[in-house]
Structure 1
């Protein structure tokens, strides 16, 4: 299933949508409401285990998805935390889903993972944490990713490499111009 941000999925690249069984726009307000709605839709369709990933985490690969799916056999929830205090992957079983897990979370802060784990404890959920990931929110994150790219994300690596190279070139030009005018 693919939940996208926008009215229709028409503008999405074909290689994103080709294998998707269902393509739907996200529903809800903040990121928590949108994630809760995606889980609810999947569970309502009879899917017993659902893994939701962020689109700004190029280190997610098939191996990590398989690990998350396996972890849900004997854990109610699975997460891959991100270095900035959030998470880039969340997996839940249908019997462990609670809308409240997505409420009152300080989204876009370094407290997302800790607050979510606290919610899981309140619901009595057994949680498995997988590897910590880098999500790309800033230019510094792009540069960090470029230093240790995912070997399977060939297209992403090409784009990120080009962006980082252009940024370094611009920074070099800016330093030269500043030197000339000082």
Structure 2
């Protein structure tokens, strides 16, 4: 289950001595390095940082410690971000969100990504090359 794997990832990195951990979804290849830098800066002031997806999930979560913000949250639903924020706030944690992006779950999302990469292939060059092979971008 995704919530359990996320919880484990944060515990493992904390146990390894890392002070901050970010998990980034692989279904948002268009994330800019500036967005990740913004998330890192936001974590200086917050306990939890979320990069919301426009479908209600999130493409990025960062935490200073392995807080239990995942329990009883049904993943892959349109309320994941809102429920994660509520869970964190109930624990007295400071939460910041960064820019909202989209993730690729369905064909329209892939077409949206292809349109974006037509404009700027440097966002995800390997993905752009593959979409070019599929003739989704030229």
Taking structure 1 as the reference length, the TM-score comes to 0.69
Equivalent runs, 1:1-182 vs 2, <5 Å:
30-94=1-65, 97-99=66-68, 101-149=69-117, 151-163=122-134, 165=136
Specify every segment of 5 or more residues in structure 1 that has no aligned partner in the other structure, as ranges.
1-29, 167-182
**Distance (whole Å) between structure 2 residues aligned to residue 161 and residue 137 of structure 1:** 19
Q: What SS is found at the alignment partner of 2:31?
A: coil
Specify every segment of 5 or more residues in structure 2 that has no aligned partner in the other structure, as ranges.
none
The answer as to whether partners of 1:143 and 1:164 remain within 8 angstroms in 2 is: no
**Distance (whole Å) between structure 2 residues aligned to residue 72 and residue 155 of structure 1:** 29
Report how many aligned residue pairs link the two structures.
Answer: 134
**Distance (whole Å) between structure 2 residues aligned to residue 129 and residue 145 of structure 1:** 22
Q: What SS is found at the alignment partner of 1:51?
A: strand
Structure 1, 153-162 or 129-138: larger mean CA deviation:
153-162
Q: CA deviation at 1:79?
A: 0.8
Higher relative contact order structure (alpha carbons within 8 Å, sequence separation ≥ 6): 2
